[in-house]
Amino acid sequence: MNRQSTRRDFLKTALVAAPFTSHLLRASQPTTPVAGIDRPSEPKSFLESFNYDGVRLLDGMLKKQYSMGRDYFFDIPDDNILIGFRRRAGLPAPGKDLGGWISGDSKVISWWSRGDVSGTFGQWLSAMARMSKATGDEAIGKKATYLMLEWAKAIEPDGFFYYSRTPWAPHYTYDKTVRGLLDMYEYCDRKDALLLLDKITDWAITNLDRSRGLDQDPGTEWFTLSENLYRAYQLTGTPKYKTFGDVWRYNAYWKSFIGGTEMTPYNHHAYSHVNTLGSAAMTYAVTGDPDYLKCIVNAYDWLEQTQCYATGGYGPNEQLLPADGSLGNYLETTVRSFETPCGTYAAFKLARYLMQFTGEAKYGDWIERLVYNGMGAALPMALNGRTFYYSDYQIGAGRKTYYPDGAWPCCSGTFPQVLADYHNIIYFKDPASLYVNLFVASQVNWNHDGQDIKFEQETAFPESDTTTISIHPQAKVTFNLKFRVPRWSQGATVKINGSKQEIACQPGTWATIERAWTPGDKVTIQVPMRLTFESVDKQHPNRVAVMYGPVVLVRNQSPILISKGENVASWILENGKPLEFKAAGQPLGTLVPFYQVGEGTPYNMYFDLKA
């Protein structure tokens, strides 16, 4: 693969997800209409997340991954992060270059000759601010504050703020920095972050190229800027952020999902063209135009039906594909099946917007798949910025490896953001209900009807199909407890204090328990899992992945399984350990969860079945 010709693929980073709080629906000034897509009205919202406040992970898979990632980024020396900013500004610059994509040494990667940490820096600020808010981690909040204040000293009088005098991707770097400063303001209570945001935005308004050419600069990604600028407008009420956000709407592309013909939705960089849907969602939030909601609803359906592998991952070789069998064909030709940290983050973001704006449970299924098969299956950050970038689904022995084209790539920015975001995808709320989206060992505190109510979820899911939620109000109180019934499930059941309840548990919906709750009540939810095959696409009905509930299983030996009938469970058998299976008559090799596979271990995820 030629580096120069594919630099578009390698230099994409995730746009940070906007938090889902009530300020999303704050009234905004109408904009100049765009024919057929921009008709201001009142946006609607059904659910809210907890916005990184009140949710804690308990011991389990996600907390372990989160803690390792938090410690890794906390331990990066501050001077090493700041050295380029300080050097560019002519300030004393102790420390060492981090190297890789963040190095100014053109010998490291020829096409990244201007090594620039600016975008990653904004993402790291964002992640640390969210971590601090979510977990009460004062140390990482103080680190983020120090980094922000020291970086601020290097901002030039005109507002120029980049790591390098010649930044490679000024639009996307500005975008990530906006997110980082907004998160410092909202989650670390740093009001001075808004002053810095104001200054760099004045520079951007004057200097960022507005030609909006897709091929002019493959790292520009101008079409992701609206999302964070609209959030800045909602948090501050400052009209210039709204006006500047209007500049970067990607109406030509968004209209392809509401019946327009200006562009095809495929043959584009996968991550960034899922990421731009966050800007479409925020355009709905500030205008209320139902066409923007229609855009993201239809885009989700298109992604799910034509672009996603069984893992929830998408974009082999970082490309969106026509629905002509290309998805299945790529399993034969590439190890770069899914840009994992960045792609997971964009998907989390889009699914959260849709859950908020529609109230529908089905969007949580994508989140769940990517928790266990996407980011949850990623290798941890390794020494000197080595990052897990691509998941490999290739037929004939895939392997988990670190990114080979340099340390500290773009996914080293989204990696900690996804970990922080784990705290923002488990629970949702509305005025009358608490919603359980994921079965994850965790706690949440919810203020309802004047009471602070504590919920504790105990589970070993997915190694167990049961979760128990203990409810601790201060006094007897009535509310709805709702939980997502996954679309893969059959026969979910509910017990309260050991007594079975007649609760409708329709797959793809929220099951509702309405009750006057007393301190110590326990709800036990069982969601039985079963083995299934999932075809990669319509053109390859016999090219399948083996699923157990939402978990993708991989086999560490022969790539061929021979089907013995439609009942998968009759010939794929339990092997004595949780989530470990064997194929009858094929003793060599076991099926285990993809997330259990370590670095370098060969595995097969997709199999061509034979009669």
SS (H, E, C) 234-286: HHHCCHHHHHHHHHCCCHHHHHHHCCCCCCCCCCCEHHHHHHHHHHHHHHHHH
Residues spanned by CATH 2.60.40.1180 within the chain? 433-461+466-526
pLDDT at residue 86 tops 50: yes
Q: Which residue has the higher pLDDT, 410 or 230?
A: 230
pTM, full prediction:
0.91
- Name the DSSP letter for residue 379: P
Strand residues in 308-362 grouped as ranges (E): 338-339
pLDDT the model gives residue 522: 98
pLDDT the model gives residue 325: 97
- Please write the tens of the pLDDT for every residue from 493-542: 999 999 999 999 999 999 999 999 999 999 999 999 999 999 999 999 99
Percent of the chain with pLDDT over 90: 77
pLDDT the model gives residue 583: 83
- Region of 12 on the Ramachandran plot (φ > 0 left; ψ -120 to 50 alpha; else beta): beta
- Please write the tens of the pLDDT for every residue from 198-225: 999 999 999 999 987 654 344 578 999 9
Cβ proximity of 554 and 591 under 8 Å: yes
Question: Which of 424-453 are b and which e, b meaning 16 or more Cβ less than 10 Å from the residue's Cβ?
Answer: bbbbbbeeebbbbbbbbbbbbebebeeeeb
Give the architecture-level CATH label for domain 433-461+466-526.
Answer: Sandwich (2.60)
Task: Please tell me the distance from the alpha carbon of residue 79 to that of residue 509, in angstroms, as a whole number.
Answer: 49
436 token code pair: 């359980």
Residue 364's pLDDT band (boundaries 50, 70, 90)?
Answer: very high
Residue 11's pLDDT band (boundaries 50, 70, 90)?
Answer: very low
pLDDT the model gives residue 17: 30
Task: Please tell me the distance from the alpha carbon of residue 550 to that of residue 163, in angstroms, as a whole number.
Answer: 42
Average pLDDT of the chain is 88
pLDDT at residue 387 tops 60: yes
Task: Please tell me the distance from the alpha carbon of residue 372 to that of residue 550, in angstroms, as a whole number.
Answer: 8
Query: If DSSP states are collapsed to H, E and C, what string results for 188-225?
Result: HCCCHHHHHHHHHHHHHHHHCCCCCCCCCCCCCCHHHH
Per-residue pLDDT averaged across 232-259, rounded?
A: 95
pLDDT the model gives residue 99: 83
149 token code pair: 């204040």
pLDDT the model gives residue 164: 85
The widest CA-to-CA distance across the chain, in whole angstroms, is 73
pLDDT the model gives residue 221: 86
pLDDT at residue 19 tops 60: no
- Please write the tens of the pLDDT for every residue from 267-288: 999 999 999 999 999 999 999 9
pLDDT the model gives residue 218: 47
The answer to which of 9-18, 323-332, 354-363, 444-453 has the lowest mean pLDDT is: 9-18
pLDDT the model gives residue 567: 73
Residues 6 or more apart whose Cβ sits within 8 Å of residue 170: 162, 207, 208, 209, 220
pLDDT the model gives residue 406: 84
pLDDT at residue 484 tops 90: yes
- What phi and psi, each to the nearest 5 degrees, are found at residue 536? -70, -40
Percent of the chain with pLDDT over 70: 87
Give me the residues paired with residue 548 across strands: 531, 551
